[in-house]
Structure 1
Amino acid sequence: MYDTTMLTKEIIQQVAKVELHDHLDGGLRIETILELAQEQHVKLPATDPQTLRAWFVRGCKQKSLSLYLETFSITTAVMQTREALERIAFEAVEDLAAQNVCYAEIRFAPILHTAKGLSTEQAVQAVLDGLQRGKKSTGMPSGLILCAMRNQNPSVSLAIAELAVAFCDRGVVGFDLAGDESGYPPKKHLEAFQYIRNKNFNITIHAGEAFGVESIWQAIQVCGAHRIGHGTRLIEDMTIEGTHIEEMGSLANFILDRRIPMEMCLTSNVGTGAAIDYAHHPFPIFFRNNFRVFLCTDNRLMSDTDLTKEMELAVQYYNLNLRDLEKLTINAMKSAFIHHDEKIKIIYDVIKKRYAEIRVNYGIMD
């Protein structure tokens, strides 16, 4: 068996990757925040780049969800113009492509970008323009997921669902429900989900992160989620012995049998308290027991991470080898909200080809 200690950062950096859970307002460059804040007269907690970066990551470092969430008030404040949204989307593609991401789905909540007069339609178009410009510059294709917020009126969620479908032929690939799970069950937004399902469109829902199995059950069985964001609390529907699952409840069996994907965000989950630490994160149990899981970053700025770092952590803590990383990447691509033929083309022409090249270049036999 190939020794995983040989999987250096250099090798992990070079592997093909797929990102399916990346929040636009959670991945800004510090330099961009400073420039936009100056242009738009937004008061920042610090104007020194290093100090400002430390302010953004303190919530994750201190495992404080409130401090983690506080930072989004700053990023959204500088994302209230078409120019800013397009720039940030473009830079997101550049940054992901630099990590050898070959396909990404980036998400944002249009309603959070209307404070200075933009319509939700204008906000969506600005982000799509940025993603398209990024593709022209880097070659990396991407899709946009529109988020509704749990704490807002369900009528707003329905409007965002309608907006997602209206833009489905222009780069929007799915609909999401984000925000605090506690006290805001997904079933309150059922009309939005029914609309999406009736239009044969795609649903991912944040569930099982800050709330238990019931949140995941509702997301899938009531709201029809095709993917689950996080899903860490599914572990509560299992009896575990070491890394082996002794017994599973009906929901865990359903998710495994139906191959419902779960978007795993290691650093984010540890930073927000959804997992105690990396050693106790349920990801390796899910992965070793054949659930369709894959790695994501969630919020690259707030969690001070990227997909290379997430893969490094998985190698370090869960003894993953190159074949494991390839499987995770293919899991992600299979779960993307694009047409089947497009997925297959990327899997065979990009992902498998790149991993084969790395095996040859580094003499890896796994």
Structure 2
Amino acid sequence: MADRIMLNQTSYHGTDAILEIANEAKAQGFQKALVCSDPDLIEFGVTSKVTDVLDKNGLSYEVYSDIKANPTIENVQNGVRAFRASGADYIVAIGGGSSMDTAKAIGIIAANPEFADVRSLEGVAPTKHPSVPIIAVPTTAGTAAEVTINYVITDLEKKRKFVCVDPHDMPIVAIVDPQMMASMPKGLTASTGMDALTHAIEGYTTKAAWEMTDMFHLKAIEIIARSLRGAVANTPEGRKDMALGQYIAGMGFSNVGLGIAHSMAHTLGAVYDTPHGVACAMMLPIVMEYNAACTGEKYREIARAMGVKGVDGMSQDEYRRAAVDAVKQLSADVGIPSKLEAIREEDLPFLAESAFADACCPGNPRDTSVEDLKALFRKLM
């Protein structure tokens, strides 16, 4: 079986990268954009950094902002109606994973109306047509949704998140401009950064990992480990490096999948509305300990990339412990909690069953069970 790599047609990185949006829109012959961005980004003037570029270049657009932090089926349905009513022929997605995931679902349904039932997109949906063209502009350094073939939607009725994996949904252009991330508060910087680290570590250890994705993931771990503390302190160097590190992680995991840290984080987000990055950060060291015996020598390289010294002189048990401890220390240093008080014993069966059914679960390096997942969730209590 062949290994596959899928990336954006084009990506721009660095200060003032957003100026390329106008050039790309004109080169592609686009006529009108639906700008997808969440209400907070509009209120705090982040979205306007992009719409100002469109305005200065005489490019037409309408704004759609009915987007929640954990985007819902209704957010997508309303967005599809807004896209059709606007007469737009492309989408500019501005935000974190929420805005980009919503934009992906809108773009897929607009191009594949037979999937109007948003739930029908769960898993690997057999869509026939590429999404409406998307230019993605991340404002958080974490999800890497601008370079992935994944998106996640919340089903409020069933209290669950579902993962959609579709090569047709990848944005054609990614604009990774660290200036768009400079206004992130410390807590959001920390949580999205830990999400990026979870992507890199799970992608590196997933069953489908191979040499090319290992290259991406190890470099991403190295960059994130050295830059996240600085990004939380809002240093220009930290912001710039995190913008790149999270993108590189996305280049890898989008092509090989993730594991149960993400399965469990999706469930915590759906049930308790736990921010995704916080949930990932809390689950990552717990899952790393659980998976350690099935990872060969990979934790030695994770420890090395995390900046641990002397790993070549360590035993396997020592470097595995060192890798987990380095992740715990980084998470603590950026202010992520290690416990979730909302979890109750009676919730565990539903949490475990939902995580077991999640699309990320099969990629985990260690085969798991509902009972194992219950025990792992219990460690958060």
Fold match by TM threshold 0.5: no
TM-score (norm 2): 0.30
